[in-house]
Structure 1
Amino acid sequence: MLARLFAMILLIEALQIETQEVPRWISVKTAELGDTVSLDCAALPDDREKLYWYKQSLGYVPQTVVAKTYEKTTFFHLRFTVGLDFNLTIRNVTKSDEANYFCQQGIFNSWNKGTFVSVKDPNDQRFVSQTVVQQPVSASAQLGDPVALQCSITSQRTDHSNQCQGEPSVYWFRSGPSHPAAIYMNGNRSGECQNSSGPPSAPQSSVYTLPKNNVDSSDAGTYYCALAACGEVVFGSGTILDITDNFLVILVHRMMLACCLLVILILILIIHYSVRKPIP
């Protein structure tokens, strides 16, 4: 009996380690000014549930754009509508609609994956080619460890026209089991940007870092580096961050728990037989 109890404890712990939820991915949908965009909601519509659509623009906190309660559905933008399946439709898309969108079922759970809507202006000529490269593709850390995620951004002029004005902004998105895919923070440049000594069209490379200290299980997920510059947003391919527990520590903890259970069982048996023993 005791052997079975100890084996069950170890089995439960092993299942907890290996059945971590797979991080959800963020998707990007491109539209032009004036287009109509439809976004899917992974939630299952139910008259008994509350449903919400959220919009999170670059550098801003999420805002509710649609709220469905027991009595009615409220729209916070006239161009936004939802169907019976609660998919979101945005009509006559403008540049202000460029943001990350995600829906939620209920109040505390059932977040869907995020969809970033990138809005292009066909009349806006681009003279800069931009790429975002994230390394490594995946990273692993133990609870409490520090982690630094990096992305390299390369910009190169495609002709001799003036480059767009303003400094580029780098944002980090996260898609994971504990939170919806959303903007995690506004990234800052780490280190020097390397300018080639060649002609004006030579590429310029910069490295941006997202530092994280004392990671825990809620930090697990896929992190995306996004560059917002020259009126467009360019995404990296993502870095998967896996947070693992120290199995040795867990094993020792479970062995101590098993010993405590054994002591409790022995005390129960002693008390049981003491009570049943006849008094001389």
Structure 2
Amino acid sequence: MHFHFWCTEYRNVVTKTAHVGEDVTLTCTHQSSLSSSGLLVWVRVVAGNFPEVLGATFTFYSASVTTLPRITTKKEPGTFVLSIKRTTRTDTALYYCEQHADLNTIFLQTTFLYVKEPESHITAIIQDPVSDPLHPGDSKTLQCSVFYNFEKKTCPGDPSVYWFRTGSDTSHPTIFYTHGNRSEECEMRSETHSLKNCTYGLNKIISSSDSGTYYCAVAACGDIFLGNGAKVHVKGNVFCLSSVIILAISLIVIAFLIYAVKDQSDFDITTSFHHINTDLLCFLFISIYVNASLQLLPSRKILQ
């Protein structure tokens, strides 16, 4: 069998749009007097592939027909019908019905079928960026704004919001679960209440291992929608050079005092004098150590 692909043959192309999961019927109308002596076929052409014969009116031609469970053809009086059940994105193609009779080919019907995903009622997910580095012990709330258009909602129930983190220190994402939409703050953006903006928050006490990118994910109507992500950088406690020097000097002084007390104990000293020096050593040790420790304490960021 020969297929013809001249542009003049497709001058009457009909465009048909369907959503994923819908059933589609394409009808090829013919004259009964011509069909009695001719062969009718439905052919599909997918971009980049060879034409597929989906159905034919004569049984002897069945060897050339591509058998697909979801696609059937049926000859009726005056028509040759092609039915596609539960369409998928892969069904987007050019479908044409042609008649072969007396060594002639007549194109009876040409349809371009476009199968698209249903539009979601979630129109946008925006996460607020984290501009400043955080420190262990800081309290931080990550926020995620979800925009809804309920005129496009096709399923019952409320969405569920999840948070998860990806970072170089973990092989798998860390998931934080929220409880449905209980922590949301919503604002209606239209008089008909069809447009709504909801803000969800994740409260965290920052630890040193919390660096990474945090994503807000919304599960609704069998799909999952992701936000743009918010990067969190956690800085560790950095000791300044002056604090290290103070601690080093303190250790040297303590070592010198220990040596001095030990050296004095080798002479003829009274027990009370030795106890006085020991008490003085303890007092100096505590004073120097506390002073050095205060110098080493990191500053805390105050969140507004």
TM bin, normalised by shorter chain, reads: 0.3 to 0.5
Give TM-score scaled by structure 2 length: 0.40
TM-score in terms of structure 1 length: 0.43
Which structure has the larger Rg?
2
Pick 1 or 2: higher relative contact order, CA cutoff 8 A, min separation 6: 1
Task: Give the helix-richer structure, 1 or 2.
Answer: 2
